């Protein structure tokens, strides 16, 4: 095996946190190598060291057998290492061409450099099936094409090894399939791809080898053809994991939520939620599928009272809550909300866990009187909810920023579910969450449904929507494109997510 990259004895600490523990990893040239692990396993830290964001405390990096020093991303690029980040590093008002050459303009005379870059960009796009209009404004492109621009940027700068961090999180199934074809073609032409993902099916579909990290250590490297999702999941977590959601048949009851002709327009007058109507009943989970940015976030904010509708009604248990426009009053009616963005909407990173776990309920008489909180009551409630939801570490005084993503999510779920809501609306319940916490969260949502509660679920993870939902609505450009049951074909749902009408689908 000819090595493209060798990481030898990489060790990295952040204070008391031992992020990488003597990691040695070899990546074969002309291969697709997956790296998986739970949140906090150390995989992102390891790749950040390879790309020059962090410096290892000790260890060595070799590129094609030669020891190199990588102290910055510029150093990494000079050694043929490129990275496509989960959140794209693009300048929205710039054209595709301008984004690709940014940082590699080649002197003060930009005109000749752009002309030469246009030729090279056309060649790369043709050779790797990455066709995109060089003169298109990046901010106006769909996310699938923006991702192509990121890959083109790396190839333009001479990347021989390409690191991709969770590359399919914002793609439709068809776009993800096209990305895999591109990665396969890159491999076939001698490029090396390192794929960081939590989606085990993707690992099995596209990689040649896969490495598993746990608690900062490399615990296994496997030939993909010689392993399976069950073994990989067990290696990641250190125990057997239930990968399939077990649930009985739903027993829908009365209508709890009735959304009628709901529309919300932004400041420019664009309808982000466009004449949307649907219902949610007791004892069922209704999932809303769609690529991020198609109105799902705005819909959740309208139902939770964060925003007020431009027109239409939100009838919750017989009352129009759309006119309230007040999250506190909506919560008092019996609706709970797990927001999509846990960092900015779900908790306050600088607060203790005990403080974040009462947000929205801090005015409860059981927790204090007037402006004064009963600190002992707050901490005791936090301890009880941490135990119930298996939050680790179970420390009420630990700052929220110190918890992993999965445990931050458990804190928010504990706060919302323990109030025994009639309706739970939950956005991206397992975004950035490791596989062990995913299993727990899915189980709690099914339990809530089986207790006769109503659940409205928004997720960009189509597998999650299909496995949890009893009914599936698909949103595109603010509209409901169609409704299907959980047995719907993935390709049919993908067409609806891409805006193809339900009749054509």
- Model-level pTM? 0.70
Full set of structural domains in the chain with CATH: 3-237 (3.40.50.300), 243-334+421-505 (3.40.50.300), 347-402+411-419 (no CATH)
Asked if 500 contacts 291 with a C-beta cutoff of 8 angstroms, the reply is no
Asked if 316 contacts 500 with a C-beta cutoff of 8 angstroms, the reply is no
Highest mean pLDDT among 64-68, 291-295, 497-501: 64-68
Of 97, 42, 30, 104, nearest in space to 73 by CA: 104
Asked if 224 contacts 214 with a C-beta cutoff of 8 angstroms, the reply is no
The secondary structure of 61-82, three-state, reads EEECCEEECCCCHHHHHHCCEE
Per-residue confidence (pLDDT) for residue 505, from 0 to 100: 44
Per-residue confidence (pLDDT) for residue 453, from 0 to 100: 96
Please state, in angstroms and rounded to a whole number, the distance separating the CA atoms of residues 56 and 213: 17
Torsion sign, CA atoms 17, 214, 386, 416: positive
Contacts 24+ apart (CB under 8 A), 300-305: 300/337, 300/339, 300/340, 300/425, 300/427, 300/458, 302/262, 302/264, 302/273, 303/257, 303/259, 303/330, 303/335, 303/337, 303/425, 303/456, 304/330, 304/335, 304/337, 304/339, 304/425, 305/329, 305/330, 305/331
Q: What residue has token string 């219902």?
A: 279
Question: 136-183: per-residue pLDDT in tens?
Answer: 999 888 777 888 888 888 888 888 999 998 887 667 777 788 888 889
Question: 87-109: per-residue pLDDT in tens?
Answer: 778 898 999 998 888 876 555 54
Question: 191-248: per-residue pLDDT in tens?
Answer: 999 998 877 888 999 999 999 998 899 999 999 999 998 899 889 888 777 667 788 9
Question: 393-421: per-residue pLDDT in tens?
Answer: 889 999 998 887 778 888 999 999 988 99
């Amino acid at each position: 095996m000819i090595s493209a990259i060798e990481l030898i004895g990489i060790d990295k600490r952040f204070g008391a946190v031992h992020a990488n523990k003597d990691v040695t990893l070899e990546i074969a040239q002309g291969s697709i190598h997956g790296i998986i692990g739970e949140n906090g396993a150390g995989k992102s830290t390891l790749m950040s060291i390879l790309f020059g964001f962090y410096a290892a405390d000790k260890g060595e990096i070799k590129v094609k057998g030669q020891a190199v020093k990588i102290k910055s991303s510029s150093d990494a690029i000079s050694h043929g290492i490129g990275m496509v980040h989960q959140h794209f590093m693009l300048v929205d008002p710039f054209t595709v061409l301008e984004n690709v050459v940014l940082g590699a303009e080649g002197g003060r005379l930009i005109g000749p450099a752009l002309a030469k870059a246009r030729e090279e960009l056309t060649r790369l796009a043709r050779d790797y099936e990455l066709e995109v209009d060089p003169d298109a404004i990046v901010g106006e492109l769909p996310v699938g094409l923006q991702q192509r621009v990121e890959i083109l940027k790396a190839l333009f700068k001479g990347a021989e090894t390409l690191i991709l961090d969770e590359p399919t999180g914002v793609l439709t199934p068809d776009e993800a399939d096209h990305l895999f074809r591109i990665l396969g073609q890159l491999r076939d032409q001698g490029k090396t791809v390192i794929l960081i993902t939590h989606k085990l099916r993707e690992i099995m579909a596209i990689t040649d080898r896969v490495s598993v990290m746990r608690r900062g250590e490399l615990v296994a490297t496997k030939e993909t053809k010689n392993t399976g999702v069950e073994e990989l999941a067990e290696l990641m977590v250190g125990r057997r994991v239930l990968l399939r959601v077990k649930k009985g048949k739903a027993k829908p009851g009365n209508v709890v939520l009735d959304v009628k002709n709901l529309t919300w327009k932004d400041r420019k007058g664009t309808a982000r939620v466009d004449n949307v109507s649907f219902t949610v009943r007791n004892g069922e989970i209704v999932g809303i599928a769609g690529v991020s940015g198609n109105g799902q976030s705005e819909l959740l904010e309208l139902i939770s009272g964060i925003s007020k509708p431009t027109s239409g009604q939100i009838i919750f248990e017989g009352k129009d809550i759309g006119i309230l426009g007040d999250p506190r009053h909506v919560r008092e009616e019996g609706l709970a909300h797990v927001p999509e963005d846990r960092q900015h909407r779900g908790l306050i990173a600088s607060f203790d866990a005990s403080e974040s776990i009462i947000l929205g309920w801090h005015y409860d008489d059981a927790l204090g009187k007037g402006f004064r909180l009963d600190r002992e009551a707050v901490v005791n409630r936090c301890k009880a909810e941490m135990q119930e939801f298996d939050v680790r570490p179970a420390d009420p005084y630990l700052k929220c920023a110190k918890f992993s993503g999965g445990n931050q999510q458990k804190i928010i779920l504990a706060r919302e579910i323990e109030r025994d809501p009639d309706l739970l609306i939950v956005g991206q319940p397992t975004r950035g969450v490791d596989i062990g916490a995913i299993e727990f969260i899915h189980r709690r949502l099914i339990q809530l449904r089986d207790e006769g509660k109503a659940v409205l679920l928004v997720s960009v993870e189509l597998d999650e929507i299909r496995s949890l939902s009893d009914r599936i609505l698909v949103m595109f450009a603010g509209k409901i494109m169609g409704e299907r049951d959980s047995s719907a074909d993935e390709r049919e749902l993908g067409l609806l997510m891409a805006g193809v009408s339900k009749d054509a689908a």
